Chains A and B, each alone.
Chain A
């Protein structure tokens, strides 16, 4: 009826399939909020948990020196664990600028 070429048929099918997936997912997200956490990537995939990070991982970010990494871990261990990332500002050697950089790499849970 539409006289489509094979390529046009593939494009049309792809767009329709994608739109259908979008509608189904949209509906599922509205009905069940757990689905949302499956659709969107968890923060653990993009940032390191500062309460679980070790010295090697901290230094590997190239954002802190070995000395500063040790100080951060000492501070964390002295408090058992951090409750918010802002506590990092209390570590000697972390000013506003470095804190902004660390904020992009770490989270606290």
Chain B
């Protein structure tokens, strides 16, 4: 078997899906898995029996891991709060995310450690989404005492998607803070120093961007370089959804690749030895992953990048399928519910489709016969866009109820521009870090490119049958 990890991952995912469809007792499956495990050890000498048993074991592991993710520990905060509970709670905890001001509210995740109702205090665990109606200077790692009602997230009519989305992140409760008296900040830092450093660096880089660019280009660049989408105007986001180019507004494998390339090149110019260069690049990738919020596409790209760097270090040839699957398994072993997340599905399906369809399409259209370099480059771009579109078509149609025939053309025009903008963005941000006035030099070309991108996108969606809602 050429790629055993791929087959194992497929069966693991099937187990997760099966757990979502059936309700078999956890302990029955555990006994079955133990029996299969024993069978692998006892009768695993014959190759085909070993293979069948291992695949079955992977399926059962997926099932068990999904079922286990539904079970909350006894001290979980959700267990202290009854359904439609209107009592006031006093909650002690630590801020687990960088607070963000969005839609006139300050949002953050609080990792709870103690809950008090009436005069009874309990130790607890779990996370709560906190919404504050006023601005206050809060940071990751700050210890807080909050007072208020704990309620499940809203479900917006019949749609459960927001509640499900939060449940996939392990959040089952929200708390709304309307008054300064509901919050007490303790002068104690309880987070990880490195993560706090990363968040501070992100805040500083955001400042560099907003100092050098007007609000619209700044919001787009912050999304493309730092993964901060909160300031993107609704119209920009919506028009990019229509043209199927909204993926350029999130940090993805492309950005991680650029970071790796830039760091590697910089270290090469500074004449660092090969091994040190690879190790430092890997560390920078991990830091960039934290800075951008460690979303699924970034984790996927970071794990893939680390696999490639490891292969480069060991001077062996990396296999793209194995690196993609190891990234998927890394995410799913930590949280199997991510399999049902649209971001996860789109991120992996687009890469898988490019890796699988692109070489086949290239052979099909006899691209190697093309002698004109520029034409070949454009044709390659078309095929990559078409492959990604093919891979994500069903997921997008089912979830967003939109089909965008303009996507392929839009991506051919917009992706090269986005590449250039990202490169300019990184140059602007890094020069701003070194010498703030230097960033000003790079701001005008960046703004001009963003304006061009927005104009092209706006023109494309005006074309007849550019997008169809159904």
> Which A residues form the contact surface with B (CB < 8 A)?
5, 7-8, 11, 14-15, 18-19, 21-23, 25-26, 29, 38-41, 43, 45-48, 60-61, 97, 100-101, 104-105
Which residues of chain B come closer than 8 Å to A45, judged between CB atoms? 216, 235-236, 451, 454-455, 458
B269 touches A11 (CB 8 A): yes
A46 touches B236 (CB 8 A): yes
B451 touches A14 (CB 8 A): no
B235 touches A41 (CB 8 A): no
Name the prevailing secondary structure of the B interface residues.
Answer: helix
B214 touches A18 (CB 8 A): no
Which residues of chain B come closer than 8 Å to A105, judged between CB atoms? 233-235
Q: Which of B265, B269, B441, B444 makes the CB contact (< 8 A) with A29?
A: B444
- Complex: A16 Cα to B451 Cα, angstroms: 22
Q: Which of A23, A25, A97 makes the CB contact (< 8 A) with B104?
A: A97
- Complex: A21 Cα to B216 Cα, angstroms: 21
Which residues of chain B come closer than 8 Å to A61, judged between CB atoms? 234
CB distance from B453 to the nearest CB of A (A): 9
B269 touches A40 (CB 8 A): no
* Interface residues as binary, B258-277 with A (CB distance below 8 Å gives 1, 0 otherwise): 00000001001100000000
CB distance from B398 to the nearest CB of A (A): 20
B104 touches A14 (CB 8 A): no
The CB with the most chain A CB atoms within 10 A, among B104, B233, B445, is that of B445
Given contact pairs A7-B265, A39-B444, A18 touches B424 in the complex (Cβ within 8 A) = yes
- Complex: A18 Cα to B423 Cα, angstroms: 10
- Complex: A106 Cα to B236 Cα, angstroms: 12
Which residues of chain B come closer than 8 Å to A60, judged between CB atoms? 238
CB distance from B278 to the nearest CB of A (A): 15
A8 touches B454 (CB 8 A): no
B233 touches A46 (CB 8 A): yes
A5 touches B268 (CB 8 A): yes
Would you call B103 an interface residue if the criterion is a C-beta within 8 Å of the partner chain's C-beta atoms? yes
Would you call B450 an interface residue if the criterion is a C-beta within 8 Å of the partner chain's C-beta atoms? yes
* CB proximity to A under 8 Å, residues B375-429: 423-424, 427
